[in-house]
Structure 1
């Protein structure tokens, strides 16, 4: 059912509260620290049964110089450097099997599917990247690991890894570094927004039903996981809400959106209990660059499903012809368009 704000209010909805005063300095120093370690991207060819795509097992160094794994898929026989799509996984997922996620490369892109460190055992796609950093006591999952300090928080590491993934794909011979886009759904959409706010010169962004947006609201209007991990933690650590909310403000997609310039496509389901619609609209409405939005009134966290994939492929297709991606500022609701 619709349990959030009505659509007319969502279209104008904005989060209250500013980014922390040292938000930009925090992320600048986090990335500078990571860049103190060699990026060292390695792409090792992998033999598969696929006859139309080539696959490489990619490793690069992310946060702390820790190795991060990814698959790179490219169309077999493609000439010249290709536009690239860097895809981040949903919560609990990793890069998956070598035979999964073949659509982007089949469409003509170089496609890097990146692990989320420590994840890949709770979703449908396996991971291969450990997180060697421990934390104080945390609720099972990833949302509360190191959550009382932004410097130790899990998503600091995951977001730095996401930016380093963009840098790594740009360093690969198969890729045109001027034509790199980031995409993802749910957690992957949140990481795509973070990369959009931190990585310069992206050609496009696709954030499907993005997670990690307007987090302070999300944890009070839904009891669905993964957001539910945070109030469960606070129900035990009753006096730590101030520290927790401060940490979450450093990873909120609303603040990254305000710093992003690449044309973007957002999607949202108005019956989504996992990423409440108001949290997605808050990020969309705060996005600094041109953006389009697809609204699915009768869908939950699946959003538009395959229709979202089709729209994403169409949105980034100009990159295949050397043309820029464009967003027109439209909001499309159940097949009807209006200026936004």
Structure 2
């Protein structure tokens, strides 16, 4: 069922970063960089667009898969869009996502470790074990920021930008990040952790103001947190402290690249006020597309067109 929040655009989050938030991510990324990126690109599919099967080293040196698509016959480096899947999805098949390559961009679509059996398939395992969790990914390792699932995924997402830049036909000075839902939350995180991006485009982003999401969402993965705390009643403070290290509100206030957000006012999975929480904190130039009568599907093809126009402007096509 859709939810209706009165005046969600007026909401301001009170979330504050843990004292060691920046040090935590500096340490995490330094540990990741200790492993060679080892980005490999193998031709996988070619018509008017060519697609490469990509493998690179993510968190802990673990292999992460992706697809890289670009117009066939490209000879000069292109601006690149790095995209992250929504919750439960993986990179899918080589020919599934060709929009950005058809528009003349290079496009890297990252697999998400351990996911890819919800609505598209994936090829990247998560070899790290954790303690008890509610089914899903949100509460995997949730009692400690060091073991939390999204520490690994966000690190993979940062390394995906480095992998894209390692391809000789990508212009590393013109890279944007984007995604819907979970992918939007990851784009916000990367926007903060990779300071020289050209653009950030989070659509109906998940992973923003986790406590409010857990309190308001009537569908989707925030409900995993609610269900976990309904059993582990004494873990509330510990859980929300861990979740703060992956919170898009805190990443937004550290990101400065031009940004295009989108929000859907009947979104039961990512309540609109959680999206506005990140939008209002965003530190760079920004604007937001609003879909008053849509749920979590958001703007779909309409937003695709808006995002392409945004990338044409920010990536100087």
Superposition TM-score, scaled by structure 2 size: 0.97
**Alpha-carbon distance, 1:78 to partner:** 2.1
Matches of 2:74 and 2:315, distance apart in 1: 11
1:288 matched residue in structure 2? 283
Between 1 and 2, higher relative CO (CA 8 Å, sep ≥ 6) is seen in: 2
2:112 matched residue in structure 1? 116
Question: Would the alpha carbon gap of residues 96 and 216 (structure 1) be closer, same or farther in structure 2, given more than 3 Å must change?
Answer: same
Matches of 1:3 and 1:223, distance apart in 2: 8
Matched, 1:161 2:140: no
Unaligned segments of structure 1, at least 5 residues: 323-340
Matches of 2:315 and 2:184, distance apart in 1: 22
**Alpha-carbon distance, 1:122 to partner:** 1.3
Matches of 1:17 and 1:318, distance apart in 2: 32
- Give the alignment's Cα RMSD to 1 decimal: 1.2
- Per-residue deviation, residues 117-165 of structure 1 (Å, max 9, x unmatched): 0000112x11000000011011111011000000000000000000000
**Alpha-carbon distance, 1:5 to partner:** 3.2
Matched, 1:238 2:236: no
**Alpha-carbon distance, 1:14 to partner:** 1.2
2:311 matched residue in structure 1? 316
1:143 matched residue in structure 2? 138
1:5 matched residue in structure 2? 5
1:325 matched residue in structure 2? none
- Partner of 1:136: helix, strand, or coil? coil
**Alpha-carbon distance, 1:318 to partner:** 2.9
2:292 matched residue in structure 1? 297
Matches of 1:176 and 1:319, distance apart in 2: 14
The number of residues matched between the two structures is 317
**Alpha-carbon distance, 1:101 to partner:** 0.9
Matches of 2:15 and 2:299, distance apart in 1: 30
Q: What is the aligned counterpart of 2:63 among 42, 60, 67?
A: 67
- 1:1-40 map, 5 Å: 3-7=3-7, 10-40=8-38
- Per-residue deviation, residues 188-230 of structure 1 (Å, max 9, x unmatched): 0000000001012100011000000011111011231211111
State whether residues 191 and 255 of structure 2, in contact with CA within 8 Å, keep that contact through their aligned partners in structure 1: yes
State whether residues 83 and 319 of structure 1, in contact with CA within 8 Å, keep that contact through their aligned partners in structure 2: no
- Partner of 1:167: helix, strand, or coil? helix
- 1:66-85 map, 5 Å: 66-85=62-81
Matched, 1:263 2:255: no
State whether residues 218 and 275 of structure 1, in contact with CA within 8 Å, keep that contact through their aligned partners in structure 2: yes
- Per-residue deviation, residues 76-125 of structure 1 (Å, max 9, x unmatched): 122311100000000000111111011000000000000010000112x1
Matches of 1:284 and 1:225, distance apart in 2: 21
State whether residues 94 and 119 of structure 1, in contact with CA within 8 Å, keep that contact through their aligned partners in structure 2: yes
Matches of 2:174 and 2:75, distance apart in 1: 15
Matched, 1:227 2:225: no
Matched, 1:216 2:211: yes
Matches of 1:17 and 1:195, distance apart in 2: 19
1:126 matched residue in structure 2? 121
Superposition TM-score, scaled by structure 1 size: 0.91
Matched, 1:90 2:119: no
Question: Would the alpha carbon gap of residues 235 and 182 (structure 1) be closer, same or farther in structure 2, given more than 3 Å must change?
Answer: same
Matches of 2:315 and 2:257, distance apart in 1: 17
